[in-house]
Amino acid sequence: MKDIYYRLITYNKNKYGAKVQRIPINAGFTCPNKTGEKGKGGCIFCDSTGSGFASLSSKTPINDQLNAMIERYNGRANMFMAYFQSNTNTYAPVHVLKKLYDSSLIDDRIKILDISTRPDCVSNDVLDLIASYKEKLDVFLEFGAESFNTNTLKLMNRGHTVSETLDAVLRAHKRKLDVVLHFILDFPTDTMEDIIEMAEISSILGVHGVKLHSLYIAENTKLGEMYKNDDFKPLTLNDYIERVITFLEHLSPNIVIHRLVSEPPKEGCLFGLWGLKKMKVFNMIENEMKKRNTYQGRLYKF
Ligand code: SF4
């Protein structure tokens, strides 16, 4: 049966003949939206780990982080993606970045170098460095776009604009890099029209993939404070399901879905996934799509 959406696992199986397991790396970066260079305090939802709660401590050398995580798979996976996840993984001089990225290429089981960053933190020199790894292995470059609504970006305190995201994608594409855009689909100031824009603009840009996130609210964040003071009301699970389905329907069928639902942190989480397990939400989305006989790209018009 044809997939109802283009899963990363399908893309990897077609390309490598097997699953490629993602290994999160904490390279000890910080973020220009926290240091004052772009902004202070960070995005209102960002906790102290910078979305890297699943990775090991940055005190552990990168090669040891990878080896320790690979060992956990104990033969269940033989191909891996070195995923620079925590904070802003291009926020350092080029020679420092090179040393860090190089140290993730521990052996030829690493098939993909995956670097996650902000769209306003990639100079042309940094993009040239990242593109140079394409000679050795596949490279994904992930940008936190989060929304294409300027007011939502302001409310999130993202510290970058929509045009900076578009500029970063176009400069990365000039270097033939595979770009993955992140979006938070259930931010309350975004409407369904905004969701359709996210899907259609991503399609027109021709990005390689997208990662969809459901908003979680962590302790010790600005959003956490707003939530506790009743100044922020999350959307419902049904809203999220509707938004994911609408997004997929308007997205080009050629774009790979790297994530459909994000996992909230196990500790210090005030609100996340409506109290359900990730797999449950995942299955609810798939079942609803099957029930409606819909699929990725059904309403894609470009
Ligand atoms: S850009 Fe990422 S790391 Fe920086 S403050 Fe926002 S969520 Fe946190």
Domain 8-292 in this protein, CATH class: alpha beta
Could you give the CA distance from residue 89 to residue 259 in angstroms, rounded to a whole number? 19
Query: Residue with the nearest Cα to atom 6 of ligand 1?
Result: 43
pLDDT score, position 52: 60
Give 198 Cα–ligand 1 centroid separation in angstroms.
20
* Residue of minimum CA distance from atom 5 in ligand 1: 42
State the pLDDT at residue 147.
98
What is the tens place of the pLDDT at every residue in 125-144?
999 999 999 999 999 999 99
Per-residue pLDDT at 54: 66
Contact 217, 270 (CB under 8 A): yes
Q: With 0-12 CB in 10 A as exposed, 13-18 as middle and 19+ as buried, what is 37?
A: middle
Nearest Cα to 212, choosing from 245, 178, 176? 245
Among 88, 122, 222, the mutation site with the greatest number of ligand 1 atoms within 8 A of its Cβ is 88
Is the pLDDT at 1 greater than 60? The verdict is no
Distance from residue 41's CA to the centre of ligand 1 (Å): 9
In 113-147, which positions are buried (b, 16+ CB within 10 angstroms) versus exposed (e)? bbbbbbbbbbeeebbebbbebeeeebbbbbbbbbb
pLDDT at 3: 87
Q: What value does the mean pLDDT of the chain take?
A: 95
Q: Dihedral (C-alpha) 43, 274, 230, 38: value to the nearest 10 degrees?
A: 0
Calculate mean pLDDT across residues 157-179.
98
Q: Which residues line ligand 1 (CB under 6 A)?
A: 31, 33-34, 42-43, 46, 50-51, 87-88, 118, 144
Percent of the chain with pLDDT over 70: 97
Q: In 3D, which of 111, 107, 109, 83 has the Cα closest to residue 27? A: 83
Question: Are the C-beta atoms of 272 and 264 separated by less than 8 Å?
Answer: yes
Q: Which token pair is 224?
A: 């956490």
Beta sheet of 209-213, edge-to-edge order: 21-25, 80-84, 110-117, 138-146, 178-184, 209-213, 256-259
How would residue 255 be classed by pLDDT, with cut points 50, 70 and 90? very high
How long is the chain? 302
Most ligand 1 atoms within 8 A of CB, residue of 34, 55, 156 to mutate:
34
Instruction: Give me the pLDDT at residue 47, please.
Output: 87
Residue 280 predicted with pLDDT over 60: yes
The arithmetic mean of pLDDT across residues 46-69, rounded, is: 81
CA dist 27 and 57 (Å) reads 8
Residue nearest to atom 7 of ligand 1 (CA): 46
Strands 209-213 and 217-218: what pairing?
unpaired
What would the DSSP string read from start to end of 230-256?
Answer: T---PPPHHHHHHHHHHHHHTS-TTSE
Contact 288, 43 (CB under 8 A): no
Least confident among 44-58, 87-101, 147-161: 44-58
Encoded tokens for 272: 């996340």
Among 30, 46, 183, say which to mutate for ligand 1: greatest number of ligand atoms within 8 Å of CB. 46
**Confidence at residue 58, expressed as pLDDT on a 0 to 100 scale:** 79
- Using the predicted structure, report yes or no on whether residue 235 has a pLDDT greater than 80: yes
Q: Would you say 84 and 98 are in contact if contact means Cβ atoms under 8 Å apart?
A: no
Res. 59 pLDDT band, cuts 50 70 90: confident
Whole-angstrom CA distances from 72 to 22, 52, 67, 69 are 12, 18, 9, 5
Highest mean pLDDT out of 50-59, 74-83, 144-153: 144-153
With a CB cutoff of 8 Å and minimum separation 6, the contacts of 47 are 53, 218, 219, 220, 221, 265, 268
Tokens of 55: 């990775």
CA 47 – ligand 1 centroid, Å: 8
Beta bridge partners of 217: 271
- Say if residue 75's pLDDT is above 70: yes
Residue 51 has pLDDT above 80, yes or no: no
What is the whole-number distance in angstroms between the Cα of residue 167 and the centre of ligand 1?
19
Q: Looking at ligand 1, which atom is closest to the CA of residue 30?
A: 3
pLDDT number for residue 2: 67
pLDDT of residue 32: 96
Q: Whose CA is nearest to atom 3 of ligand 1?
A: 87
